Structures are given as structure tokens and as C-alpha cells.
Structure 1
Amino acid sequence: MAYELPPLPYDYEALAPHVSSDTLKFHHDKHHAAYVTNFNKMVEGTELASQSIEEVIKATYGDSSKTGIFNNAAQAWNHTFYWNCMKPNGGGTPTGALADKINADFGSFDKFKEEFLAAGGTQFGSGWAWLVLDKGTLKVTKTSNAENPIALGQTPLLTMDVWEHAYYLDYQNRRPDYAKTFVDSLINWDYVAEQFAAAK
């Protein structure tokens, strides 16, 4: 069954002024849509067509003969996850069990924020910054290009897209400004908490 491009979980204007409607239209309707289309074309008629996109990501990671499938599957999944990690009037700090776990594993929310911003800011070239659960411990990681935690045996809880098309129309080359805005004003901590609760 073909993987479908999910609609954005909010209107194009909903994240303004932090992320413009133009950015969301290009990013979702062009970039994300292209990954979904390419993925479906590549697996059509193969044994992978009947597998979930998560299973395809795990099965094709590290297989040089299936790099194209992995890249498009992972990018299709990454973007769907990324949209859900943001919401209008987001940001702030998490609460409850997730907040307790962040404080326990990082020392404080501010320490987590520092590590997450550093991961996004120091990722050379295209990629992603992540908050993951790895063998019971929260960690901040970064990945290049399409790579994601699912392929590495980790559970993703939060991601920030640091490919240029995620922010260039709004921030030009100021990736650190975009990253700070993402953390302070966009993160959907309710969604992150749901991922954490499901992973425990």
C-alpha cells in the first residue's frame, strides 16, 4: 500500500511569523511530496511495497544497493515527524514525566536546550537534530542528510530539520536564529511527551 503524503497538522499561516506560509508551501508541498512520490515509485512491485515505511527504513539502511530507497523513505518519514513536532504558540518548557526525565538525564532543561541548539548549529551541511530515547536514556543527537534514529535503533521524540530549505526563505544563512526560534516558539511539547509515553 502506497505511503501517502499527510496534510500539515495546521494551516500554512499557523506558524508565522516564525515559519512563513511560503516556507511551508515549498517545504511540504514540493520537497516532502517529492520524497513520498519517489519512495512509492521505488518500492512499487518489490517486496518492500507491503512493508511499513519504518520497516523499509530499517531494512534498507546501510545497503548500498538500496540507498535511494532509504533516502526517500527516511526523508518522507522525517518530514511527517517534523511537522508534528511544531505547533502554533509552541515552545516553552515540557511538563510532567518528560520534564522530569529531561532534568534527570541532562541536569536541567537549559542544559538540554544548549545541547539541542549545538546539535542543530554544528551539523555540517544538511541533516537533523534529534531528542531520542536510547536504551532508556534521553540523548541529543544529530544525523546527516536522511539518516534518522529509527535506522540506528533509537526512538525519536523530537526533531528539527536543518536542511536549508527548512529555513532559508525566512532566515537566509542564519541557521542559529532559526534553531533558537524553533526551541523557544515552535516545539510541540505535547507531541514529544506522547512519543515519550509510548516509548517507555
Structure 2
Amino acid sequence: MLAITSRALKTSAAVKSFRPLTAIRTKVTLPDLPYEYDALEPHISGEIMKIHHSKHHQTYVNAFNAAEEKLQNAFQANNLTEQLAIQNAIKFNGGGHINHSLFWQNLAPKGQGGGNLTKGALSSAIDKEFGSFDNFVTKFNAAAAGVQGSGWAWLGYNKEAKRLEIATTANQDPLLALVPLLGVDVWEHAYYLQYKNVRPDYLKAIWEVINWETVAERFAKAQ
């Protein structure tokens, strides 16, 4: 009994001496667009781009920074319950920031790379995996149209299998299982003002302004 009590006292002392590592706060900012709000017209209206970037993305930035501050305070207060409670806000808003930051880079005006996939390693990989570029677009759009509610459609690279894959994520979940190369936002705020509830029309139009140079660069780095 004495031995058990001693072990219990040692365990108790170890627990009391444990303190969680102090969180290093990550603060994010809204990135500038590499083009004007109306530069993607007529495929994506300037009004949509302005609201999407300056309102929706800014909201994710603000909410993430607020959640990170709360998390820092929870760490300092050694409040594990509060630390856990904040995780969903960090995941949702942090994912929103990550996804949108890539989304803006994945777009470009016509004449500045938008919609123009040139011959190269990426186009060859698309042909190898999906048969042709047209087949890829058809499969990607089917996956994107099939997202229930809000979410994202992705072209990603599987580093283990060394192949391109199409994937979807719900809400603002970032793509973690694959290296994200191309992400298309299929939340209604990305298209409703222009395309109403007809998501397939938006998906058809967005290929005219996909920045394939950026996608190809990410593909090269992923390999």
C-alpha cells in the first residue's frame, strides 16, 4: 500500500510540474490580389471578386486572428478546456485563409495566362492520368458540382503514388492528404451574384481564367 501511495505521489508531482508549451501566435493578413477586381470579367464579375476578397476572405482573416489571440490567452491561463474549444474556429477560419490565398493565385485574366495550359510536364501528367484535358475538366466539374452544400474541389498531387488526383473538401477544410495544385471555391458566395444557384455554369466559366502557370509551378515543386 505504501508503494502504491508513493507512486501516486510521484505521479501527482509530475502532473503538477507539467505546463503546456506557450503558444507562438500566428497572425495572418489579407493578401493583395495580383489583378484588379474586374480583371476576370466576364467570367467572374468584379462585384463578386470585390465582395469575395474584401469581405469574405477578410472575415476569415479577422476571425482566425481573434481565435489565435484567445488560444494564446488560454495557453497562458493553462486552460485546456478553452484551448480545445477554440480549435474548430482556428481550423475553419485558418482553412478559409489558406484556401482563398491559393484560390486568388490560381486565377488570372485572359491574356495574362488565364485559361492557357501550355504543353509541358503538367499537361502530360493530366493526359496520362485522365486521358485528355477535356476528360480532366469533365471529371473535375462532376466532383465540384457534387459537393453537397459548401466546399472546395481540388487537383492535387499524391507524392507517394506520384500521380495527380481530383479531390473535394467540405466547408473550409484545406487539402491535407494531397499537395494542393488547383483549388476551386464552390461556396455560393463565389458565384451566386452572377450565376445564381447554377453551379455548373460557374464551373464551366472558371476554366477561362485558371492560371495554369501557377498550377504548373506548384506541380513542379510538389515532385
**TM-score interval (norm. to shorter):** 0.7 to 0.9
**Paired position in structure 1 for 2:46:** 21
Cα distance in 1 between the residues matched to 2:85 and 2:175: 19
Partner of 1:7, secondary structure, is coil
Please tell me the residue identity of whatever aligns with 1:75: G
Q: TM-score, normalised by structure 1?
A: 0.86
Q: Retained in 1: the 8 A contact 2:152–2:187?
A: yes
- The alpha-carbon distance between structure 1 residues 193 and 64, as it changes in their structure 2 partners (threshold 3 A), is farther
Q: Equivalences for 1:36-185 in 2 at 5 Å?
A: 36-44=61-69, 46=71, 66-89=87-110, 90-134=114-158, 135=160, 136-150=162-176, 153-183=177-207, 185=208
Please tell me the residue identity of whatever aligns with 1:10: Y
- 1:83 positional shift: 0.7
Q: TM-score, normalised by structure 2?
A: 0.78
Q: Retained in 1: the 8 A contact 2:103–2:183?
A: yes
Q: Retained in 2: the 8 A contact 1:133–1:154?
A: yes
Cα distance in 1 between the residues matched to 2:143 and 2:187: 13
Mark the runs of 5 or more structure 1 residues left unpaired by the alignment: 48-62
Larger Rg: 2
Cα distance in 2 between the residues matched to 1:115 and 1:148: 20
Partner of 2:169, secondary structure, is strand
**Paired position in structure 1 for 2:221:** 198
**Identical aligned residues as a percent:** 45
Cα distance in 1 between the residues matched to 2:170 and 2:70: 29
Deviation digits for residues 66-112 of structure 1, max 9, x if unmatched? 11110000011100100111100111434200011111111211211
Cα distance in 1 between the residues matched to 2:164 and 2:27: 33
Q: Retained in 2: the 8 A contact 1:131–1:158?
A: yes
Q: How many residues align?
A: 183
Cα distance in 2 between the residues matched to 1:64 and 1:41: 14
Deviation digits for residues 142-163 of structure 1, max 9, x if unmatched? 111011212xx31000011000
Cα distance in 1 between the residues matched to 2:120 and 2:101: 25
The root-mean-square deviation of aligned C-alpha atoms, in Å, is 1.7
